[in-house]
Chains A and B, each alone.
Chain A
Amino acid sequence: MTIIDCARLGKRYGRSWALRDCSLAIPGGQFVALVGPNGAGKTTLLQIAVGLITPTEGTVTVLGCEAAGSPGALDRIAFVAQDAPLYQNLPVGDMLRVAAHMNQRWDPQLARTRLAELAIPQRQKVASLSGGQQAQLALTIALARRPELLVLDEPLAMLDPLARHDFMAAVLAAVAEDGLSVIMSSHVLAELERAADYLILVSKGRIQVAGEVDDLLSHHRLLTGPTAQTDKQAERMSVVHARRGGSQSHLLVRAPAADPGPAGWESRPVGLEELVLAYLREPGVAALPGPTADGPSRATIGPSKGVRA
C-alpha cells in the first residue's frame, strides 16, 4: 500500500511557495526519514498529509485511497506536531482520557504500560513534565491510538541526547512489534540514519531525493582521481557533486551498483549524510524514482536533472 501518494503538490503562502511540484509515492511498512534544511517545506508537507493544511495545487491521497484529512484518514493516522502539543494544565491521566474520548480506537493498556515503563505518574500535570517526558507522552498517546501510520514532525528538536535515543528506541520498538509505518522529519540526519528505510530530501520546497536507503547508497559512489580527467568522466557519468583540487578531485557520482568505476580512479561507497550534503549543495540535481505505471515499487534512480561538469 502506498502510504502517501502525491502528484505535483504545491502550497503557496502569498507570493512564496512553501512546496512546489512535489510528487511522491511513499511505500508503507517502512520508516521514512524526511530530511532537509530548516524552512525547506517538511512541516508543510507533513501537515498537508494529515489534513491540517489544504494544498494550493496538486493532489494527495493517504493510506491507499483516503483523502488527506478525511475521517478515515484521521482515524488511522496519528500525528505528533512539532513541540508535541498537549493540554498543559491537565494531569497526565486526564490527558490520556481526553485522547481516549477523542478517538474511536484506543488501547488503554498500551498507554498505561508505556507510562509505567517511562515512570511518568498519572497524577502529575503535563506542564511539570520535562521536554523529553512530554515528547514521550505525546508519542504514547499517538501509539495508543494503534494507527497504521505515525507521522512525527521534528520530535527530537528539543530533546537531550538520552531523551532522543529513548524516543527513537520507542518508535522503532513499535515498528518492530506492530508493523507500523512511520514518517519522521528532522533537520539532523545523523539521528535518523540508523533507523530509516526510505529517505526523502526536501530542499527549498522541492523534493530532491526520494528512494529506499539501500538503493540510494548502492547507487552512489565517491570517486577520487586526477583533476585532469574530471571533465571526461563527467561526460560519461552522472556527477552529483564535484570537489576539485589542483591535481586531485573527488566526484560523488550516481552509478549502477555493479559499475566498477573508471580505471585508475579510487572508488568508495558514500554514507547517507555525505550523500545528502552533496545533494543539498547542488540544488539542480535530483535522485527521484523513475515513473512507474504499476504503483509503488522499489525506487529506481532515474536520470539526473542536471549534470555538473
Chain B
Amino acid sequence: MTAATAPAPRPAARQQPVPWTGLAWVTWRQHRAGLTGTAVVLGGLSLYLLVTGLLVRGSADSVSSQTPKVISALVLLLPVLIGSFTGAPLLARELETGTFRYAWTQGCGRRRWAIAKLALLAGALTVTAGAFSAIFSWYIQPFIADGQLPALKPLVFGLHGVAFAAWTLAAFSIAAFAGTLIRRTVPALAASLAAVAGLELATTLLLRQHYLTPLTTHGGVPGMPPSLLSGGSWVLSSWTTGPGGRLVSQDIINQAEGRFRYSPNPAAFSAWLTQHHFTQWWTYQPQSRFWPFQLIEGGWLLALSITMIAVTVWLVRHAQ
C-alpha cells in the first residue's frame, strides 16, 4: 500500500444520527423480495379486475353475481395474508438467525433501525393496498349499483373504501409485534394469522353493526324488507309484534310464511299481517352510512396499528 492508500485519520466523532434515507435503503434491500412479491400479486389481480371490469361494463347483459362473490372471498383473505407474511418475519428473522447482534451494535442504534423498518414497510403496504382497493372498488361498482352486493355487508365492506388498506396495516403491525415477542418466524406467523383472522371475524360479526346505533323501521313482510331498505342497506334483525306491541312467536310467523310462500298473490301475506294487526319491524344500517362506517373502522384500525408498532419499538429497545 502506498501512502495514498494508507488509512485516512479517523473521522471526528459523529455529529448527528444516521440518516433515515440510508436506513430506508437497508430496509428496502432486505425486504425487496416481500415487497415486490406483494406488488406482483396485487398487480396481477388488479390487471385481472381491470380486464373483467371493462368486460362487465361493456356487456349489455345484466351482471352475474357469481364471479364477484368468489373474487371477493379471495380478496378478503389478502389483508391477513399480506400483512402477516410481511410483518411476522420482519424482526423475528433477525432474532432467530442472530443477525440482530450485528444490527443492534451498528451506529444507527436499534430504535432508529426498528422504526425505519416498521414505518417504511407499513407505509408501502398501506399505499399498495389502498391502490389495489381503489381498483377493486371500481370493479365492484356495477354489482353494488345493481343491488346484488350491499356495500355494508361483511363480504363486501372489507374490500374497498379504506377498510382493505386498514386491515392490511393492522395485520402487518400485529404480525410484527408477534414476531418481536415470540422471536421465531413460524410461530409468530401462525399466531398473527390466528389473531388477525379472529379480530376480523369478531369485528364483522359483532362490532361493526354497532358503530352507529342501528335504525329501526317497520313495514314489509317477514323475509322481505320494505322498499326503504332495498338498495344496499344492511339488515341486522327483524321481528314481528302483534297488537299492543307484544312480540309474536317465531313459530306462528314461520307457519304463516309457509302458507303464503307459494301464493300467487304477493300481497296476500301482507294482508294477512294487517288483518292480525301484526307489524314487522326491522333494524338496519342504511347504505348512506357506508363511508362513516369505513372511517370509523379505518380509524380504530389505524390507532391499533400505531399502538402495535409503538409497542414493538418499545420491545426492541428493551430486548436482551
A→B interface (CB under 8 Å) = 47, 50-54, 71-72, 74-79, 81, 83, 85-88, 90, 94, 97-105, 107, 109-110, 113, 138, 145-146, 148, 177-178
A104 to B107: give the CA distance in the assembly, Å: 6
Which residues of the partner chain B approach A54 to less than 8 Å between Cβ atoms?
320
Q: With CB as the reference atom, state the residue of chain B lying closest to A51.
A: B105
A101 to B108: give the CA distance in the assembly, Å: 9
Evaluate contact between B105 and A50: CB separation under 8 angstroms.
Answer: yes
A134 to chain B, nearest CB (A): 12
A105 to B11: give the CA distance in the assembly, Å: 7
**Contact segment of B16-24, B47-55, B251-259:** B16-24
Evaluate contact between A77 and B29: CB separation under 8 angstroms.
Answer: no
- Tell me if B13 counts as interface (CB < 8 A to partner A): yes
User: 19 A-B Cβ contacts within 8 A?
Assistant: A51-B105, A54-B320, A71-B14, A71-B107, A74-B106, A74-B108, A86-B102, A90-B29, A94-B29, A100-B22, A101-B22, A101-B26, A102-B18, A102-B26, A102-B108, A102-B113, A104-B18, A146-B10, A148-B10
A74 to B13: give the CA distance in the assembly, Å: 11
Interface centre among A51, A100, A102, A104 (most CB of B within 10 A): A102
Which residues of the partner chain A approach B41 to less than 8 Å between Cβ atoms?
none
A87 to B16: give the CA distance in the assembly, Å: 26
- Tell me if B104 counts as interface (CB < 8 A to partner A): yes
Which residues of the partner chain A approach B1 to less than 8 Å between Cβ atoms?
113
Inter-chain CB contacts under 8 Å: number: 100
Which residues of the partner chain A approach B6 to less than 8 Å between Cβ atoms?
177
A140 to B5: give the CA distance in the assembly, Å: 16
Evaluate contact between A81 and B102: CB separation under 8 angstroms.
Answer: yes
A90 to B26: give the CA distance in the assembly, Å: 11
A51 to B98: give the CA distance in the assembly, Å: 15
B→A interface (CB under 8 Å) = 1, 5-8, 10-11, 13-14, 16-18, 22-23, 25-26, 29-30, 97-109, 113, 320
Take A77-B105, A85-B102 as given contacts and tell me if A178 and B10 are in contact as well, using a CB distance cutoff of 8 Å: yes
Which residues of the partner chain B approach A72 to less than 8 Å between Cβ atoms?
13-14
Evaluate contact between B29 and A86: CB separation under 8 angstroms.
Answer: no
6 other contacts beyond A51-B105, A105-B10, A146-B10, with CB at 8 A cut-off? A71-B107, A85-B102, A87-B99, A102-B23, A105-B107, A109-B5
Which residues of the partner chain A approach B10 to less than 8 Å between Cβ atoms?
105, 146, 148, 178
A71 to chain B, nearest CB (A): 6
A214 to B13: give the CA distance in the assembly, Å: 33
Which residues of the partner chain B approach A85 to less than 8 Å between Cβ atoms?
97-102
A109 to B6: give the CA distance in the assembly, Å: 10
Which residues of the partner chain B approach A79 to less than 8 Å between Cβ atoms?
101, 105
A103: contacting residue among B18, B29, B99, B101, CB under 8 A = B18
A105 to B106: give the CA distance in the assembly, Å: 10
A110: contacting residue among B7, B97, B105, B109, CB under 8 A = B7
Q: With CB as the reference atom, state the residue of chain A lying closest to B98.
A: A85
Evaluate contact between B320 and A103: CB separation under 8 angstroms.
Answer: no
A72 to B320: give the CA distance in the assembly, Å: 20
Which residues of the partner chain B approach A47 to less than 8 Å between Cβ atoms?
101
A87 to B105: give the CA distance in the assembly, Å: 14
A81: contacting residue among B29, B101, B106, B113, CB under 8 A = B101
B5: contacting residue among A74, A99, A113, CB under 8 A = A113
Which residues of the partner chain B approach A52 to less than 8 Å between Cβ atoms?
101, 104-105, 320
A195 to B1: give the CA distance in the assembly, Å: 23
A102: contacting residue among B7, B22, B101, CB under 8 A = B22
B13: contacting residue among A76, A90, A98, CB under 8 A = A76
Evaluate contact between B8 and A107: CB separation under 8 angstroms.
Answer: yes
Evaluate contact between A98 and B29: CB separation under 8 angstroms.
Answer: yes
Evaluate contact between A53 and B320: CB separation under 8 angstroms.
Answer: yes
Which residues of the partner chain A approach B100 to less than 8 Å between Cβ atoms?
85
Q: With CB as the reference atom, state the residue of chain A lying closest to B1.
A: A113
Take A87-B30, A103-B18 as given contacts and tell me if A178 and B101 are in contact as well, using a CB distance cutoff of 8 Å: no
